[in-house]
Amino acid sequence: MNSDIAQLVSVALYSPKPDESVAFFHSLLGMEISHREGQSVYLRAYEDFYQYTLKITEAAEPGLEEITWRASSPEALERRVKAIEAAGLGSGWTDQDYGHGRAYQFGTPDGHRMKLLWELDYFHAPPELKSKLRNRPSKRPLRGVPVRRIDHVNLMVSDVPQNRRFMTETLDFRLREQKIGDGGVEVGAWLSVSALVHEAALMRDATGARGRFHHVAYWYGAPQHLLDIADIFSERDVLIEGGPAKHGTTQAYFLYCFEPGGNRVELFGDTGYLIFDPEWQTVVWDVANEVDLEKSSIWFGGQLPRSFYRYGTPVVPGHGLVEIGR
């Protein structure tokens, strides 16, 4: 049975260094700028079909403004709005956002801002960006190592079960993989609405803070590009936090880095594995067990540093990259 949510549309981030942030996504990750409005810049990868997938807005601190999801149909949108209202987490309708039609805004139990819509604008390339490939919405750019499309978001939460239940019961996500730690406490959840293992992940915030952003991931489709972008990042002093390496959870080839505004960005090599089984049983990692702890995080390719579990945006005082030791 299909989910009432079809896909991740876009992620809106705050940056205290908006010009540098936009230059990072434009010049190094090859993203196109599709619109500018007020203090915001809208960008898309060359195989993103909609008007934009990333919005950068100037603000005093880095962090998440909002995540936008697309419903599977107008009826599915109405069903999910009813469920969100019943959960008491709705904030009402808006039609003010560039490239997006009427959308329903809400928050997760932890306070991450989200919205759900059906109507939105597709990207129509101007002549200079038009690809000869009829199934590619714009030409492959010549800048940096261009990402192909948005893939997923990862959110830090104070309480994984509470927020995971909201994602599955209220938003109609499927729980694909899960990490259970000491004392049977759920510390991570990987959730999807499609054959992808995840469009959203929830991880316990080791600082105990609520509602923080961990990362947005863009997809390459080929692990070689992770080596290429790591080489470029190293030349230009972009801080790489982990990888190129392979996760056990999701089996994805990855690289984590920080854009100049301080938000973490993941680059995804391949997709990992795909799920077509309608009777999929959630994969459970017992991370109180040392083998599962190690292999779920990194299948091969080094280790994830302490910052991966403590650094998020906005930054919690005392848990910046410098204080953590990065």
Contacts with Fe ion, residue ranges (CB under 5 A)? 154, 217, 266
3-state secondary structure of 223: coil
CB of residue 219 vs Fe ion: minimum separation in angstroms?
Answer: 11
Q: How far apart are alpha carbons 197 and 275 in whole angstroms?
A: 7
CB of residue 297 vs Fe ion: minimum separation in angstroms?
Answer: 12
For the chain, how many helices (H) and strands (E)? 7, 17
CB of residue 152 vs Fe ion: minimum separation in angstroms?
Answer: 6
3-state secondary structure of 55: strand
Residue type at 231 in one-letter notation: D
Asked if 275 contacts 198 with a C-beta cutoff of 8 angstroms, the reply is no
Q: How far apart are alpha carbons 101 and 96 in whole angstroms?
A: 8
Asked if 298 contacts 211 with a C-beta cutoff of 8 angstroms, the reply is no
Residue type at 41 in one-letter notation: V
**Which CB, 105 or 250, lies closer to Fe ion?**
250
Q: How far apart are alpha carbons 48 and 9 in whole angstroms?
A: 9
**Which CB, 34 or 307, lies closer to Fe ion?**
307
CB of residue 205 vs Fe ion: minimum separation in angstroms?
Answer: 15
**Which CB, 32 or 266, lies closer to Fe ion?**
266
3-state secondary structure of 74: helix
DSSP-derived letter for residue 78 is H
**Which CB, 67 or 120, lies closer to Fe ion?**
67
CB of residue 129 vs Fe ion: minimum separation in angstroms?
Answer: 28
**Which CB, 13 or 117, lies closer to Fe ion?**
13
Q: How far apart are alpha carbons 181 and 119 in whole angstroms?
A: 41
**Which CB, 272 or 314, lies closer to Fe ion?**
272
Asked if 43 contacts 54 with a C-beta cutoff of 8 angstroms, the reply is yes
CB of residue 178 vs Fe ion: minimum separation in angstroms?
Answer: 15
The strand pairing partners of 14, in sequence order, are: 57, 63
CB of residue 258 vs Fe ion: minimum separation in angstroms?
Answer: 14
**Which CB, 171 or 201, lies closer to Fe ion?**
201
